[in-house]
A and B are shown apart, each in its own frame.
Chain A
């Protein structure tokens, strides 16, 4: 993984010193809260219902075991012994005190971590595929480009006060988008060069996003040679900074500008701007590609036979806990003899994405023991051990089970993405976490869970859509109806290559009914699908909403 040199380290250390100075001026009264707010946000500090919240960047989700141990340690020293992994591959601490934040950040800086631009109207943490570097279907390792983008976007002087926040995602797998690039402000897709001997480049998508106005990104440029990546991003950002709306924060995202101009006019503006800068000093050099790529070279894999058959046999093991775990949480690795292991942070009764300090330390230890000391945070709020020798899977499963980290539900309907909701968040209208835990409690039968197959279920506690409800196969949106928590049910969303925005199934339901409604939807699918091979999403797309509506609202009680 990327290792800081003295430039990177100096910048992060100086950022801590700068924020320490800003916090002391806030506490002394030299700066007002209104002046301080953008400063603290660009250092990841939010104000939530009960306390400040600190969001720490995990660039493209990649952690070393030492970094994960440090995340555990700061949660004990400055917080309440746990952290929340977010849908943007970051970690959030819910209870830090303002004057402790500089020390916390200084501790993180010792392991090359920071909280720079994890919030605010600036370019946020660049996210990527959680299987980057190890997936079989990958064309190029997206992390190299993520790191190059991270450096370009960090403390960029021109783009610190954009009309609104700005999120970039990169995928290196042209046929398997696991980074949801089509629902980002900019989606970067690595694609093969035009000719067989041409180097790969990028397709640039723009204007995707969720929130109040969900929108699938459109193609801004079909093929961008890779040396122009940063100048092209700069051109998009400059057009957005100059022309994005600033009169209404709900219409300030780039998707609104793209929608208003139309993708053709928008991309013409970008191309015109780019033409003036593309051959300048921003052109990326082979030396820089090589320098960054060297840090993402494969670890020293042993030369092993394929373990595919072994893993398949484990999935059928008589030890059903192990079998289910392998069947749902283990993914084939590009390197023979190795497996990718997904660690679910969606155990029953637990807030999705939360991990205690003890759990983080165990995962760090297991990463050292079984997997070259690397851990990845997935945007689905799970952890990944990307490089496990397949023969260790049974031992690994046993160790994970001991700390409630072996829930066999990756990609299943209880692998719920949920925002913090009204339990923590200042903006929320309704709670998310209790809905998630009630749904996972409801689906108790693991055979039934696995029979349902792959279904994503995403919950947001308000229209800002941090729980990505629009792109869940099943989406739930919390709303406030005269002081009562109600929930809208949506079906048909998907974040991947077949990206689509879910549609509302019917009238919102009170909290007491929403979990039964989800169970009803699942039952309708199981009873009516063509076969076990027809995924939930495919069924919804084929059969439409009528079967669900009939089952759910058929009695006309709610209409």
Chain B
């Protein structure tokens, strides 16, 4: 199963990277990730077991080739995509990655939340692109479960940012109840 945790694979394979991932326990951790994000004309990686992320257009075009590979495949979509248009085609994927083109463009938060809450996506939901540590907490609460930080950004800071708050007024994907239905 990819990505694997860091302790199992101490050295980075070429093409692998470290990401922040929220584990099954809900605890964020640093993990090594092998997913290869492909443009529409990029060749598949020579190592057949490497999992790949493709656009929806390519998923349609190369469906057969994707199914024949050993590695898993997922889809990456832009942050301004319409969930209404794409949710059906994402539902069965183990991983969907959303591109954050600029961290100040907040459309992807609504996209992530709707994919989770309205369209029932249960796989891994990843943010990549202009992903900065200080926004991870908002992202997680909108349903993201893994984060490929922008180049040069500290994963340790990312982990710390994810645990900055113990309380929130709003509900989230795992518990939709706002605080006023949880207060004790």
Q: Specify whether A and B are partners.
A: yes
* Residues on A facing B (Cβ under 8 Å): 5, 7, 10-11, 14-15, 17-18, 21-22, 25, 30-31, 35, 38-39, 121, 148, 151-152, 154-162, 230, 238, 241-242, 246, 276, 280-282, 284-285, 287-288, 291
Known contacts A5-B183, A22-B134, A157-B170; A242 and B118 CB within 8 A of each other: no
Partner of B168, one of A38, A155, A276, A281: A155
- Report yes or no: B165 in contact with A161, Cβ–Cβ below 8 A: no
Residue B181 is within 8 A (CB to CB) of chain A in the complex: yes
The list of the 9 closest CB pairs from A to B, nearest first, reads: A161-B106, A157-B141, A288-B180, A157-B138, A281-B176, A18-B164, A151-B169, A158-B109, A281-B177
Which residue of chain A is the closest to B144 with respect to CB atoms? Answer: A157
Among A151, A161, A238, the residue within 8 A (CB) of B103 is A161
Q: How many A-B residue pairs have CB under 8 A?
A: 105
Q: Complex Cα distance A238/B83, Å?
A: 13
Contact in complex: A241, B104 (CB < 8 Å): no
- Provide the residues of chain B in CB contact with A157, threshold 8 Å: 109, 113, 137-139, 141-142, 168, 170, 172
The distance in angstroms between the C-alpha atoms of A246 and B141, with both chains bound, is 23
Question: Which residues in B have their C-beta under 8 angstroms from that of A276?
Answer: 118
Is the Cβ of A7 less than 8 Å from the Cβ of B183? yes
B138 touches A160 (CB 8 A): yes
Q: With the chains together, A148 CA to B139 CA distance in Å?
A: 23
Report the Cα distance A152→B179, complex, angstroms: 9
Is B171 positioned at the interface, with any CB of A under 8 Å from its CB?
Answer: yes
Q: Is B36 an interface residue (CB 8 A)?
A: no
Give chain B interface residues in 129-184, CB to chain A under 8 Å: 132, 134-135, 137-139, 141-142, 154, 157, 160-161, 164-172, 176-181, 183
Complex Cα distance, B135 from A39, in Å, reads: 9
A171 → chain B, closest Cβ, in Å? 23
A7 pairs with B103, CB closer than 8 A = no
With known contacts A7-B179, A18-B165, A154-B169, A160–B132 Cβ distance under 8 A: no
Contacting pair A242 B110 (CB below 8 A): yes
Q: Does B105 touch A at the CB level, under 8 Å? A: yes
B63 at the interface (CB under 8 A from A): no
Across the interface, which residues of A come within 8 angstroms of B141, CB to CB? 157
> B110, B134, B137, B178: which contacts A152 (Cβ < 8 A)?
B178
Q: B179 to A151, Cβ gap below 8 A?
A: yes
Known pairs A14-B164, A160-B106 / 16 extra A-B pairs, C-beta < 8 Å: A5-B183, A7-B167, A10-B167, A11-B169, A18-B161, A25-B157, A38-B104, A151-B169, A151-B179, A154-B169, A157-B137, A158-B106, A158-B109, A161-B106, A230-B178, A241-B110
Q: Nearest Cβ distance between residue A85 and chain B, in whole angstroms?
A: 27
14 contacts between A and B (CB under 8 A): A21-B164, A30-B157, A31-B134, A38-B103, A39-B134, A155-B170, A156-B169, A157-B109, A157-B170, A158-B113, A160-B109, A161-B105, A241-B110, A291-B180
A35 to B161, CA, bound (A): 15
A30: chain B residues at CB < 8 Å are: 154, 157
B61 located at the interface, meaning its Cβ lies under 8 Å from any Cβ of chain A in the complex: no
Across-interface contacts of A7 in B (CB, < 8 A): 167, 179, 183
- Whether A280 touches B176, Cβ cut-off 8 Å, given contacts A158-B113, A238-B110, is yes
Instruction: Tell me the bound Cα distance from A11 to B165 in angstroms.
Output: 7
Measured between alpha carbons, how far is A17 from B166 in the docked complex, in Å? Answer: 12
Q: How far is the CA of A7 from the CA of B166 in the complex (A)?
A: 9
Contacts of B177 in A (CB 8 A): 281
A137 to chain B, nearest CB (A): 30
Across the interface, do A152 and B169 meet the contact criterion of CB distance under 8 Å?
A: yes
Complex Cα–Cα for A198 and B138 (A) = 39
With both beta carbons as reference points, the residue of chain A lying nearest to B142 in the complex is identified as A157
User: What are the residues of chain B within 8 A of A284 when measuring CB–CB?
Assistant: 180
> How many Å from the CB of A19 to the closest CB on chain B?
10
Kindly list chain B residues whose C-beta atoms are within 8 Å of the C-beta of A285.
Answer: 180-181
- Answer whether residue B107 sits at the interface, using C-beta atoms and an 8 A cutoff: yes
For A156, list chain B residues within 8 Å (CB): 169-170
Residues of B within 8 A of A18 (CB): 161, 164-165
Closest to A7 in B: B167
* Cα distance, A7 to B182, chains bound together (Å): 10
In the complex, what residues of A have CB within 8 A of residue B103's CB? 35, 38, 161
How far is B179's CA from A10's CA once the two chains are assembled, in angstroms?
13
Check A158–B142 contact: CB distance below 8 A.
yes
User: Residue-by-residue, is B29-53 near A (CB-CB < 8 Å gives 1, otherwise 0)?
Assistant: 0000000000000000000000000
Could you tell me the distance in whole angstroms from the C-beta of A61 to the nearest C-beta in chain B? Answer: 21
Q: Which residues of A contact B180 (CB under 8 A)?
A: 148, 151, 284-285, 287-288, 291
Which residues of the other chain, A, contact B165 by a CB distance below 8 angstroms? 11, 14-15, 18, 155
A242 nearest CB neighbor, chain B only: B110
Q: How far is the CB of B65 from chain A (nearest CB, A)?
A: 34
Question: Are the CB atoms of A282 and B178 closer together than 8 Å?
Answer: yes
Q: Are A159 and B169 in contact (CB under 8 A)?
A: no
Residues of B within 8 A of A21 (CB): 160, 164
A50 to B169 alpha-carbon distance, docked (Å): 36
Of A22, A39, A162, A287, the residue contacting B106 (CB under 8 A) is: A162
Partner of B107, one of A15, A38, A160, A241: A241
A25: B residues at CB distance < 8 A: 157
Q: Contacting A241 at CB < 8 Å: which of B109, B154, B164, B170?
A: B109
Find the residue from A22, A152, A155, A230 having the highest chain B CB count within 10 A.
Answer: A155
